[in-house]
Amino acid sequence: MLKNHRNIYNPFPTIVHSILFEDVEELNKDLFKFVKDLTFSDEVKDAATSGDYFLSTEGASQPDVDIAEKYYGEVDCITKFVDEIMLPASESWAEHHFMELTGKPTPRTGHFNFTTWATYYTPGSWQTPHIHREKMFTGVYFAKMPDDKKSLTNGAHCTSTVQYQPPEMQNEGAFVIQNPHMQSTQPLIGGWITQQEMMPKEGELIIIPSWLSHYPKPFSSGERCVIVFDAQYNINK
């Protein structure tokens, strides 16, 4: 065998953050009640049944309002979520990964622009795989998860799967991120790891690059409530 020198590079990493917050039981209850009440009120329209989300969502409800922009400073649980979860987690994410994604250190003079919303799921509701365009990263906070979701991970938080599985091989209620490399080149080849299934806990925040395709799996009983935000970092001029 000829002598050789091998280098391995990872030029485009797929970075996923998982942050489990402690002592947030009361906050989660308040967020869940707020979102559920908002979902069934006449105050806002349901974005899941109209507009851009009409073809990608079935059974879930998404109040058509930027909840942080509208309710920050007025609703305690939203204010606490922004101040103690969304902002610190976003700043930490930027500090650790801005260089990896942009090739530049985090600018000292800049600010985040956020878009925030909530989605309420009932049994059997689903969303198709999707991305969030023209944003830097997306955070999904799980305020409420089904109590009796069926998992085949034996307590593991994350498991690799083949994309097309029979229903009995699925993890109910999983948050799924899809392999962008295999998806773009060989999406139908069996046996390749085409997605990762994460089994979130209540009080957990998952942050992914906004270009990463993802979707929630349906569940058979209970309720799920998530608070979602898209973030874009803008440099001050």
Nearest residue to 47 (alpha-carbon basis) of 118, 113, 141, 139: 118
Residue located via tokens 């994350």: 158
Q: What is the pLDDT of residue 74?
A: 97
Q: Is the CB of residue 138 less than 8 Å from the CB of residue 229? A: yes
Antiparallel, parallel or unpaired: β 224-235 and 110-121: antiparallel
Residue located via tokens 């799996």: 217
Which element (helix H / strand E) includes 38? helix 25-39
Q: Is the dihedral of CA 28, 203, 47, 70 positive or negative?
A: positive
Q: What is the pLDDT of residue 81?
A: 98
User: What residues does each domain of the chain span?
Assistant: 17-235
Q: What is the pLDDT of residue 65?
A: 92
Nearest residue to 213 (alpha-carbon basis) of 174, 171, 183, 168: 183
CA distance 76 to 22: 18
Compute the half-sphere exposure of residue 230: CA atoms within 13 Å on the CB side of its CA: 13
Tell me, what amino acid is at 52? D
Tell me, what amino acid is at 28? N
Walk along the chain (237 residues) in steps of 10 and give the mean pLDDT of each run.
Answer: 88 86 97 94 73 62 92 98 96 78 64 93 87 91 80 47 46 82 56 76 94 89 95 79
In degrees and rounded to multiples of 5, residue 106 shows phi and psi of -60, 120
- Give the architecture (CATH level 2) of 17-235: Sandwich (2.60)
Q: Is the CB of residue 227 less than 8 Å from the CB of residue 28? A: no
CA distance 26 to 74: 18
Q: What is the pLDDT of residue 133?
A: 87
Q: Is the CB of residue 219 less than 8 Å from the CB of residue 149? A: yes
- What does the chain come to in residues? 237
Q: What is the pLDDT of residue 172?
A: 80
The pTM of this model reads: 0.84
